[in-house]
Amino acid sequence: MSRFLPDPIIRIVVCGNADRGDDGAALAAIATLLPTLPHSLLSKVEIRRCLELRVEDLVELPSGVACLILDAVAGVTPGQVVQLTMTELRERPAFTPRSSHQLPIDLVVGLADSLRDAPVTGTFIGLAGRGFDYGAPLSHVVRAAMPAYRGAIAAELHELASREPSSIPSSISSLSTGA
């Protein structure tokens, strides 16, 4: 990174397609949330946008950087916010992230873990959508749930940013210190 900015400690991976109705929920949430966050938090964050989560998105995650994956989901009540740790995500969740089309998300995370020196740490936060048709706007239920979704994202960002290296699992702590 720049010598003027600290290295990020959180990578936000924002998945979705704004042209496919509720599949654009994560994009809408992050676009409206970022301007409200304090600079001290934003300086710790790196943002990546992707149409669908790929193994490479997680394999290239630098050591010691937590990952926050944002996506629309299907398979639960529309408008519901779902939040899982990476450990819980590895256990085949009861929902389907809309943007992980090539492989189920538990396989994406599992494959990334097997290709890295340490497991991916962080959180998945999704918003259950109702419609994913091309050209459709966000559904009413997703728009109504957007404040709760943004709130969950902001809370998790503050939580991840507040963690000291000693509170990160030992497999990551040793990597972040260069040991």
**How confident is the model over 124-146, as pLDDT tens digits?**
999 999 999 999 999 999 999 99
Decide if pLDDT at 70 tops 70.
Answer: yes
Taking only the tens place, the pLDDT of each residue in 30-54 is 999 999 999 999 999 999 999 889 9
Domain annotation for the chain: domains and CATH numbers: 10-176 (3.40.50.1450)
- 69 has pLDDT over 80: yes
Looking at per-residue confidence, does 52 or 7 come out higher? Answer: 52
Q: Which of 57, 61, 49, 60 is nearest to 24 (CA)?
A: 49
Alpha-helical runs (H) found in 127-166: 140-162
**Cβ burial, residue 45 (10 Å; 0-12/13-18/19+):** middle
Q: What is the pTM of this model?
A: 0.85
User: What's the pLDDT score for residue 5?
Assistant: 60
3-12: average pLDDT: 79
Rounded Cα gap, residues 122 and 159, in angstroms: 10
Instruction: Specify burial of residue 133 (Cβ count, 10 A radius: 0-12, 13-18, 19+).
Output: exposed
Length of the chain measured in residues? 179
pLDDT of residue 8: 83
